[in-house]
Chains A and B, each alone.
With several copies, the nearest count.
Chain A
């Protein structure tokens, strides 16, 4: 009987307080919609940044004069070097074949194979790429760098702008993290704020209830249930809009692309679950807590 009473109370209250109820719902909807839009964006951005970072390689070019024994020695050496993650050996013949396949026209112009044997070293962590390069070719006292093995011709980053990639991706990651944090706290704040306000509009009502002999929890339960329902409705609205957006916009115009460029996005089902749970939890808690002030009669 108790639960059904509280439920009926919550429904009555929503019906009779259309304005604040609607306002609370709209706030949940809007903030959850924002969250639902930003979470995949943030994830995709971070994913993209990470996959760019994964491409940071250190290429160790051997001298064209290197013999197989030299190659083996260098390989052993590299295996012992700290920060070396994956190690891939590309023989000069393999490199030539690969390049010729990629740029047939261009390589037609070349005569003999100009490419050396190469080790492609993936650092254990992209941030260590520069340290690794320095370890393999430490700066010489005379200036310039001297590779640690005489068979090594050059140690290079795949792209000359590794440094730039690293800082930019780092920045992107920090920025998105900050934005996500700001957005989440903003959502919580905004929802709590709205609920506080709609409680405030019913301050008098709560006072009267107390004077008539209602206990704190007797007053609180309907409000918490109301908050839960409103939060669920708002979150549901957000989910429906997100779903519509996905079907109408994402799947239609970016068909096939999203899966390519944003493989790290959370699945849609999980996103929905997050949005729903977030909306409901924040609203329910907010209602329960905001009420405390007005219960002190």
Chain B
């Protein structure tokens, strides 16, 4: 095993997770993600993407192996420190996990309130992020009054609002139309450019192809591919990035 690189934000070493009999969540997954990277997690359904995310937020415990985040072994975080650990992560859940009794605004504000932010800060930040995700008109709706895509965007807004150093997004565009998806990807890219490490699980092959970022592929819980797809351009501006995403077909290397 190679020694863990000091600047790795996420480090999986031989992590396995089995659910009951037969169901494999993860199987000997080993990889590391550096600070500031943008990584896609792909794989067929049931290949273990969500399991990996749930292990990262310590919703599940691995059966074997070690997970380190920002140098800390997750197994060593005691129960009552877990909330403080989770505050460093922004998570977009595959099933959104919105609080049904709170409005859109309050759902997003909750992520700030748990960390004890003042009302002023909340008044500053929440409307901003809601505008970015295109939810300004839905401020006072409850989750069951939103369309699927709108709920997904609330989940995204909640994950972003804290400006966490590590962002996990499980299928953030599964319920979004292509145009909105590009908007969200643009947002992810912008956040990534400010230094945030981003891990995105997705099925959107077109998007992955166009983004040309590092891709980790899982198959039945195993890491079967881990490569930076060709032309990895960190210094592209957000606008250039969006332009490129909107270009229909995956083309040969362009204005690099």
Contact = CB atoms under 8 A, between A and B. Distances in A.
Interface of A: 1-2, 5, 12-13, 16-17, 204-205, 208-216, 218, 297
A213 B117 CA distance: 13
Interface of B: 57, 59, 80, 82-84, 86-87, 89, 91, 93, 97-102, 106, 110-111, 113-116, 118-119, 158
Nearest to A215: B83
Contact of B86 (A1, A2, A213): A213
A5 B113 contact: yes
Contacts of A212: 86, 91, 110-111, 114, 158
A92 B32 CA distance: 110
B110 A209 contact: yes
B114 A1 contact: no
Nearest to B162: A213
B101 A211 contact: no
Contacts of B83: 210, 213-216, 218
Which 8 residue pairs across A and B have the least CB separation, nearest first?
A16-B101, A213-B86, A213-B87, A214-B114, A215-B83, A208-B97, A213-B83, A213-B114
Contacts of B114: 209, 212-215, 218
B21 to A, nearest CB: 20
B54 to A, nearest CB: 9
A221 to B, nearest CB: 12
Contacts of B84: 213, 215
B91 A17 contact: no
Contacts of A2: 116
A12 B106 CA distance: 11
Nearest to A16: B101
Nearest to B102: A12
Contacts of A5: 113
6 contacts: A5-B113, A208-B98, A212-B158, A215-B83, A215-B84, A216-B80
A208 B99 CA distance: 7
A16 to B, nearest CB: 4
A213 B111 contact: yes
B113 A17 contact: no
Contact of B59 (A13, A17, A204, A211): A211
Nearest to B115: A213
A263 B112 CA distance: 59
